Amino acid sequence: MDYHIPLIVCAFMALDVVSGLVKGWSQKALSSTKLRKGLGNKMGFIIMLVLAYACEYAMGYLDLGFTVPLVPAVSVYICLTEVVSICENVAIINPDLQQSALFQLFEVGGGDDED
């Protein structure tokens, strides 16, 4: 197992948690309820990544009916989800960035992110 993939995914998730905390702090709206919900979402992502690893491992021994490389697909989905969430948080932290070309790619408008 290549340890780089879960490390990268966890780094994206950690950056989202940090950006969410900074967003809450900047708005004077830190909330244990939102933090708990956000961390619950992160645990769901971790469970999906572990499941992807388990399925790929099982494919070496069992015929699951598919042979798709799940770990890269799940990892990319998680990372892209976190990128959008981080951009939403940063757009709220610094509204001037909402008009930047990078943020226009993601159509970030400072949405109501729970993380």
What DSSP string runs through 11-26?
HHHHHHHHHHHHHHHH
Instruction: Give how far the C-alpha of residue 9 lies from the chain's centroid of Cα atoms, to the nearest Å.
Output: 7
Give pLDDT tens digits for 65-75. Answer: 888 899 999 99
Per-residue pLDDT averaged across 9-16, rounded? Answer: 98
Smallest Cα–Cα separation from 9: which of 54, 46, 51, 52? Answer: 46
- The candidate with the shortest Cα–Cα distance to 30, out of 39, 40, 16, 20, is 20
The answer to whether 6 and 31 have CB atoms below 8 angstroms apart is no
Q: What is the mean pLDDT of the chain?
A: 89
pLDDT value at 53 more than 60: yes
d(CA 59, CA 53): 10
Section 55-84 average pLDDT: 93
Instruction: Please report the sign of the dihedral spanned by the C-alpha atoms of residue 48, residue 53, residue 56, residue 60.
Output: negative
pLDDT for the residue 111: 52
Q: For residue 40, report the phi and psi dihedrals to the nearest 5 degrees.
A: -65, -40
